[in-house]
A and B are shown apart, each in its own frame.
Chain A
Amino acid sequence: MDRREFGIGAAAVALAGLVPMHRATAQSRAESLRVLSEGSPNSFDPIGIGVNRSSIQVTWNTYDRLVRFGTKPREDGTLYYDYFTIEGELAERYEISDDKRSITFHLRKDATFHDGTPVTAEDVKWSLDRIVASPIGKAQFSTGSMTTPDQFEVLDAQTIRITTPKPDRFTLPNMATTYPIIINSKLAKSHATDADPWASEWLKTNIAGGGPFKLDSAVPGQSVTLSRNDGWKNGALPGFQRVLWQVVPNAQSRRTSLERGDADIVQDLPPQDAVSLAQEAKVKVVGVPMAGAFQFIGMNGNMAPFNNVKVRQAVAYALPYQQMFEAALFKRGRPLFGGKPGEADGMEFPQPLGYATDPAKAKALLAEAGFPTGFDTTFSFELSLATVAEPVSLLIQEALGQVGIRVTINKVPGGQLGTLLEKKEVPFFFEGSAAYLSDPDYFFRIFYNGATRWNFGSYANPEFQGLVEKTRFETDKPVYETEVKRMITLAKEEVPIILLWQPTLDTGMQKSVDGYKYLFHRMLELRTLKRV
């Protein structure tokens, strides 16, 4: 039964009296999943301009990729993606050549797109060529040494090979991210124009994929309806037949709906709601610390006084970490403060930087740095992050005041902090970001290196930069580990940015909903969800 038929049917039943309408909806409710979120998708082309995170929820579930990350349950049983295991999705298997420079993918023979056309290596090649032809796609793909179309080579209808100039650990994980969706190239090409050879305009609002769900309808800013692709061969068939995803801007309204049982899943719960919903225990709250994501205090390393490492350390000792963690985050996260100071504690990064609140030490360091009476500075945060950043900023203002640093708070309207950071004009600020790939050197390459705004501390230590370059193609594991540990030590000693915590991704759901899986992009994996 499709939407329209259902609507007419429900209306016909409802004519007899209003109560049966509820019964009719109840029946279809069991196999439908109703999701509420604040964000709304703005494009179905992952490499388009300004594509937001919500868009991934559509492309992730309506398209397949060649490979996907494996699954590793957490201690509490929540499914979690396993970055270091990569398994086939559209490719039933893949081989890495002996010289580690090429990967050969063998496509599943019976895989088809939603319109029934078989998936061929030509489709894969067109999809990958398309990525390196776009500035955004190319920027991501070059992190895996893929920059030109001739690196993607069709061997036969079911086989495609990717070759890189040097062995690159990041080529394969890049194929499992949100960018390299495999597109039905015949369908897409029929909508291409001379001005738009990659059909980007059409793909913005249409799906030409073969993933586990088909797009039924999408009303911008309001709702998206998906139905299951029953012919999907690249994994176990999803548990829900229909998914109705609605955009509800107000957090309180989303929460009320969940508590009343009208919504099945509410995404991105604010920390305080997650705490109180979990206490009331009427619904399930699944909280997972976001891998790769982090919130931090940035200090502009190009600007006095933050170009002085002692000042940065002083600030790191002066921050009231525990208070901020409790008042702003309601402890919904994994702390990145405290921990082992001055040296690497394992290979994972971000990890706690080893700083704990110690105002006396902060004062001493300030005096050593030549600021015995402190200094004045401005602390900025963007209003879109206000729920967490506002209490953080007030606590920082108070704590730094005690060691002599006088802080003025500057609230930046939504969408504008990025521009200021790009110009490197902000001295001292609160921000958050996330990396898709989990390798520590990948994290350092983006956030501790280079001229982009993502090098939030404008960190430019020559030794560190050398290590970032050396680790890029390092294949010798012990050497790589020594180098990464040195980078971690430097990140702790020189604190270009003060990591605060990895926030928890809190998702509220009915107790009947099972199979939630956390993914690196933080949107829902509909493949595994089911009702029990």
Chain B
Amino acid sequence: MWVLSRLLGIVPTLLGVVIATFVLTHLLPGDPAVFFANSPTADAATIQAIREKLGLDQPLWRQYLIYMGDLLQGDLGKSITTGQPVARDLMQRLPASAELTLTAFLLAVAVALPLGIGAALRPRSLIDHACRLISTAGVSLPTFVTGLLLIYLFYYLAGVSPEPIGRLDPFAAPPPTVTGFFLIDTLLAGDPASFLSALSQLILPSVTMALFALAPLARMTRSAMLGALGSEFIRTARANGLRWHKIVFSYALRNAMLPIVTTFGMVFSYMLGANVLVERVFAWPGVGSYALDALIALDYGPVQGFMLVMAAIFVLVNLIVDIAYGVIDPRTGLTNA
């Protein structure tokens, strides 16, 4: 019941996003008709003809109604920069972004959790300093610098990495699409060679992104754990002589989990939409660079579609985080509200 009412609550949020994206994109100062009349022989009549063809001569409210009508039928419009329907573009590119983000996220969590816990358990120890160093470096190095550095070291100098372009060896055929995740699709197709190729293409970009995501995750884990470990029930547990791992994992970590999970959700949503730089450096065909290209080309459809999809994902991730709250800490009481 609770989940259902939460799902219904998403509708007005998304509607607000639709209006906001529509207004924002149409507030952009560039005139698409002028931009698309890019041949030097185009005159005012050509521009007008293009404006009519794109429907941009209609009043804004009409354009909005047309857009809403199409949207209700699942039509996100057409991209002029790729010549494809926006929905199809996003469906093709979202799995690429998702695969990269998920891998990077899991990688970051796998390092950040132990690192943060370790740092909290032994403040001012070697591991605490390592935690601080890694998170400071992760935050202060822009992702494209990390990316280019990794490419230079592992591809250009050492030659152990494959060419950092795209999701697969350029001369290999992509696997038949089932999930859109190459790591899964290649295995489903029974093609271990392509799986290895996809995996090796994925390593450098996901490490680049993981380094960036590591900092907030590790810092948040550390401070939440410090807070939990310093609280009275832990002292009591210690005094009662409970075993070390019981204290750390069952009592401290579980209590520290709430802020950590919140940060996880935030970082994940942020990574999915904001990894444009990583996508650019590694020629990764994701949604971020797609939206950026469209924005530069004054192509409204893809920008609106991207913002809408991102908003939906953000809302969804928040929902999952909320559900996770209930599981971690029944006191939040959300499950039976």
Instruction: Known contacts A248-B165, A253-B164; decide if A260 and B159 are in contact (CB<8 Å).
Output: yes
Which single residue of chain B is at the shortest CB-CB distance from A252? Answer: B148
Instruction: Known contacts A14-B193, A418-B35, A446-B41; decide if A135 and B293 are in contact (CB<8 Å).
Output: no
| Per-position 1/0 for B31-67, Cβ under 8 A of A | 1101111111111111101100110000000000000
| Per-position 1/0 for B277-312, Cβ under 8 A of A | 001111101000110010011110000000000000
A408 at interface (Cβ–Cβ under 8 A)? no
Residues of B within 8 Å of A42, CB to CB, are 80-83
How far in angstroms is the closest Cβ of chain B from A198? 13
A143 at interface (Cβ–Cβ under 8 A)? yes
Total number of residue pairs linking A and B with CB closer than 8 Å: 183
| Per-position 1/0 for A410-427, Cβ under 8 A of B | 000111101110100000
Instruction: Known contacts A143-B41, A246-B170; decide if A256 and B156 are in contact (CB<8 Å).
Output: yes
A220 at interface (Cβ–Cβ under 8 A)? yes
Residues of A within 8 Å of B31, CB to CB, are 418-419, 422
Cα–Cα, bound, A11→B192 (Å) = 8
A6 and B171 within 8 A (CB) = yes
A253 and B283 within 8 A (CB) = yes
B29 at interface (Cβ–Cβ under 8 A)? yes
B44 and A135 within 8 A (CB) = no
Which single residue of chain B is at the shortest CB-CB distance from A135? Answer: B49
Cα–Cα, bound, A246→B151 (Å) = 18
Residues of B within 8 Å of A52, CB to CB, are 38, 81
Instruction: Known contacts A7-B173, A50-B35, A422-B47; decide if A139 and B41 are in contact (CB<8 Å).
Output: yes
A135 and B289 within 8 A (CB) = no
B80 and A249 within 8 A (CB) = no
Query: Which of the residues B34, B42, B166 comes within 8 Å of A136, measured between beta carbons?
Result: B42
Interface residue count on the A side (C-beta < 8 Å): 70
A326 at interface (Cβ–Cβ under 8 A)? no
A531 at interface (Cβ–Cβ under 8 A)? no
Residues of B within 8 Å of A246, CB to CB, are 165-166, 170, 283
Cα–Cα, bound, A321→B193 (Å) = 56
A50 and B40 within 8 A (CB) = no
Residues of B within 8 Å of A15, CB to CB, are 192-193
List A108-140 residues whose CB lies under 8 Å from chain B.
135-136, 139-140
Residues of A within 8 Å of B330, CB to CB, are none
A253 and B165 within 8 A (CB) = yes
Cα–Cα, bound, A253→B280 (Å) = 9
Residues of A within 8 Å of B49, CB to CB, are 135
B70 at interface (Cβ–Cβ under 8 A)? no
| Segment among A153-161, A361-369, A449-457, A463-471 that sits at the interface with chain B | A449-457
Cα–Cα, bound, A257→B196 (Å) = 20
Residues of A within 8 Å of B283, CB to CB, are 222, 246-250, 253
A472 at interface (Cβ–Cβ under 8 A)? no
B173 and A4 within 8 A (CB) = yes
Which single residue of chain A is at the shortest CB-CB distance from B54? Answer: A49
Instruction: Known contacts A34-B170, A253-B165, A257-B165; decide if A136 and B37 are in contact (CB<8 Å).
Output: yes
B193 and A21 within 8 A (CB) = yes
Between A and B, 5 residue pairs with Cβ closer than 8 Å are A3-B173, A49-B53, A140-B41, A262-B165, A419-B34
Task: Beyond the given A14-B193, A135-B46, please list 17 additional residue pairs across the A-B interface where CB-CB is below 8 A.
Answer: A3-B173, A18-B196, A28-B171, A49-B37, A50-B80, A136-B39, A136-B42, A139-B39, A221-B89, A221-B290, A244-B171, A249-B289, A252-B281, A256-B164, A415-B35, A452-B44, A454-B40
